[in-house]
Amino acid sequence: MRNLKPLFIALFCLFALGCQGESGSTARPELNDQNVDPTNTAYEGAAGFLTIGEYSLIQKDGYKEIHDGAGRTLALVPRGSPAPAGFEPTMVIPYPVERVAVYSAFDVAMLKVLGQDKTIVALTTPKNGWHVDYVKEGYDAGRIVYVGEPGSVDYERIKAQKPDMVMTWDPSIVPMMDDLGVPVLVTSTPVATCLSTQIRFVEFLAPFFGEEEKARAFYQRVKDSLAAIRAKTKTLPKPKAMWGDIYEKRVLVEPGNAWVAELIGLAQSDYLFDDVYGTSCVEISMERFLYSGNDADLYFTYRSVGQGVYSKESLLRINPLLAGLRPLTPEGRALAPRPVYSQSADRLDELLTEIAAILHPEAYPNYELKYFVELPDKDLPRPKGES
């Protein structure tokens, strides 16, 4: 799917991981006053077992057995220890991990949460595509090299960086990296990430670096923000929201099992594609998209302000079919993500709060948007630095 849509859509959708409940159900968790924290799919038992969405870690004798997003089984082995029996060399990852090649901005942000951004040695987005200082500094210091965009990666250059592992959303690279002797951790699944997995995925990564305390602190911070959002919005009227866009006769939306959809529901709002299930940026019919658009109060577009979207008028110039959406009239509201949005998962508590503030401005007076832009009806001068 990534080769069939613009790169900025792929980057936006890289917030996606995947989620299932403990029983394997794909049903959305119930959110209510007694359960304002939907992050309940992880379980840690005395035997050292951890499951988060479709990811799991099991403590074995002398190593940790890992199940990644592609259902592959790997061994996480203390650095310098022998590999366990039954694992090929490229299925064994030494820990603490010291050098990582990374495909997605989400994974980069999770490494930042763990204080491990300096382990990044290769990226598939060049320096000028980054909007966070710590990555730019890595390029400037020579720690990070650009290895080509995901569709045309220089695999030999990845190998030359001597990574302990490659973190990728693309399982198709596994055979090539196996040939080069480089372990791969697949950090995406075929279904969109739920809110639980979005928040707790860092706990799955933490054992690779020995940073479990930092992961728990991040979880607690985000959990507290969810509780605050619920407290502020639970008695308010429900606006109706939609999230997606139209591309060359294809319509892509965030499904009801995606984390943004769950957040919209938690924040006392109605998500108009709540009945849609699938991967992030799932395709639906044009008719369904426009039908929901007639009823929506708010519209979140995938198109970034970095792609020339500065007003409802500019969005309609890009795609006149969007004229059927009520949020693109003066009666509705439309939001576009800033370029930094897809690179800021390490500030997930702020992102969640901002989306809640957009849905319910009455609950967040004088809130200043950092990650989104509310589009005016007509073109205005372009924001400085966002041409």
Q: Are 162 and 147 in contact (CB under 8 A)?
A: no
Specify the long-range contacts of residues 350-357, CB closer than 8 Å, at least 24 apart. Answer: 350/225, 352/222, 352/225, 352/226, 352/229, 352/263, 353/225, 353/228, 353/229, 355/260, 355/263, 355/264, 355/267, 356/229, 356/232, 356/233, 356/263, 356/267
What is the domain range of residue 351? Answer: 212-374
Q: Helices in 62-170 by DSSP H: which ranges? A: 105-113, 133-141, 155-160
pLDDT given at position 308: 79
CA dist 230 and 218 (Å) reads 19
Give which of 159, 185, 158, 190 is closest to 174, Cα–Cα: 185
CA dist 110 and 61 (Å) reads 28
**Percent of the chain whose pLDDT exceeds 70:** 86
Per-residue pLDDT band at 212 (split at 50, 70, 90): very high
SS3 of the chain: helix, strand, coil, percent, to 5 = 40, 20, 45
Average of pLDDT values for 145-150? 94
CA dist 276 and 255 (Å) reads 5
CA distance to 60, 198, 359, per residue, from 242 (Å)? 45, 20, 11
Q: Do 183 and 216 sit in the same domain of this protein?
A: no
Burial label for 235, CB within 10 Å (0-12, 13-18, 19+), is exposed
Q: Do 176 and 227 sit in the same domain of this protein?
A: no
CA dist 383 and 301 (Å) reads 18
More confident residue, 339 or 36: 339
DSSP labels for 306-337?
A: GGT--SHHHHHHH-GGGGG-GGGSTTSEEEEE
Paired tokens of 37: 């924290």
Among 156, 173, 188, which residue terminates a domain?
188
Average of pLDDT values for 139-158? 95
Q: Do 217 and 178 sit in the same domain of this protein?
A: no
Per-residue pLDDT tens over the stretch 58-106:
999 999 999 999 999 999 999 999 999 999 999 999 999 999 999 999 9
User: Does 99 reside within a domain?
Assistant: yes
CA dist 289 and 242 (Å) reads 9
Average pLDDT, the chain: 86
Per-residue pLDDT tens over the stretch 304-319:
877 878 899 998 998 8
Q: Do 217 and 357 sit in the same domain of this protein?
A: yes
Per-residue pLDDT band at 191 (split at 50, 70, 90): confident
Among 173, 188, 203, which residue terminates a domain?
188
CA dist 381 and 387 (Å) reads 10
Q: Do 275 and 331 sit in the same domain of this protein?
A: yes
pLDDT given at position 24: 31
Per-residue pLDDT band at 41 (split at 50, 70, 90): very low
Q: Are 373 and 336 in contact (CB under 8 A)?
A: yes
Paired tokens of 216: 């728990």
Q: Do 121 and 253 sit in the same domain of this protein?
A: no
User: Does 315 reside within a domain?
Assistant: yes
User: Does 12 reside within a domain?
Assistant: no
DSSP labels for 14-42?
A: TT------TTS--PPPP-BTTB-------
pLDDT given at position 36: 41
- Please, what is the end-to-end C-alpha distance for the chain in angstroms? 28
Q: Are 102 and 116 in contact (CB under 8 A)?
A: no
Q: Which of 27-41, 130-144, 230-244, 269-283 is predicted least confidently?
A: 27-41
pLDDT given at position 362: 96
Q: Do 272 and 312 sit in the same domain of this protein?
A: yes
Q: Do 160 and 97 sit in the same domain of this protein?
A: yes
Give which of 269, 271, 266, 274 is closest to 229, Cα–Cα: 266
User: Does 41 reside within a domain?
Assistant: no
pLDDT given at position 13: 54
Q: Which of 40-54, 93-107, 127-141 is predicted least confidently?
A: 40-54
Q: Do 273 and 334 sit in the same domain of this protein?
A: yes
CA dist 146 and 232 (Å) reads 43
CA distance to 23, 35, 48, 58, 346, per residue, from 44 (Å)? 15, 19, 6, 10, 23
Q: Do 365 and 245 sit in the same domain of this protein?
A: yes
Paired tokens of 323: 């004229």
pLDDT for 377 beyond 50? yes
Q: Do 180 and 266 sit in the same domain of this protein?
A: no
Q: Which of 47-56, 193-202, 225-234 is predicted least confidently?
A: 47-56
User: Does 114 reside within a domain?
Assistant: yes
Residue 23's CB: how many other CB atoms inside 10 A? 7
- The label of the residue with tokens 């996606």 reads 16
Residue 116: which CATH number? Answer: 3.40.50.1980
Domain count across the chain: 2
Give which of 372, 374, 379 is closest to 340, Cα–Cα: 372
